[in-house]
Amino acid sequence: MTVKRGFTLIEILLVVAAIAILAGIVIVAINPAKQLGDTRNAQRRSDVRALLDAVHQYAIDNNGDIPIAIVQTNDCAGISTNEICKYLTSGSCSGLVELFVLTDDKKYLTAQPIDPSGSTTSGSGYFITKDAKNRITVCAPRAEQGATISVTR
What would the pLDDT profile of 27-58 be if each residue is shown by its tens digit? 888 888 899 999 999 999 999 999 999 999 99
Q: Specify if 1 maps to a domain.
A: no
Domain of 86, in residue numbers: 9-152
With a pLDDT cut of 90, the percent of the chain lying above it is: 69
Planar angle of CA 40, 75, 153, nearest 5 degrees: 70
Q: Which residues of 104-134 are buried (b: 16+ CB within 10 A; e: fewer)?
A: eeeebbeebbbbbeeeeebbbbbbbbbeeee
The pLDDT score that the predictor gives to residue 82 is 93
Q: Specify if 69 maps to a domain.
A: yes
Q: Specify if 101 maps to a domain.
A: yes
Task: Note the pLDDT tens digit of each residue in 52-90.
Answer: 999 999 999 999 999 999 999 989 988 989 999 986 656
Helices 32-61 and 9-30 sit at what angle, rounded to 10 degrees? 30
Q: How confident is residue 151, by pLDDT bands cut at 50, 70 and 90? A: very high
Q: Specify if 3 maps to a domain.
A: no
The pLDDT score that the predictor gives to residue 74 is 87
Q: Specify if 4 maps to a domain.
A: no
Which residues face 137 on adjacent strands?
A: 129, 152
Q: Specify if 71 maps to a domain.
A: yes
Q: Specify if 2 maps to a domain.
A: no
Tally of domains in the chain: 1
SS3 129: strand
The pLDDT score that the predictor gives to residue 119 is 65
The pLDDT score that the predictor gives to residue 89 is 59
**Residues near 1 by Cβ (< 8 Å), separated by ≥ 6?**
none
The pLDDT score that the predictor gives to residue 1 is 66
Q: How far is residue 113's CA from residue 85's CA, in Å, rounded to a whole number? A: 10
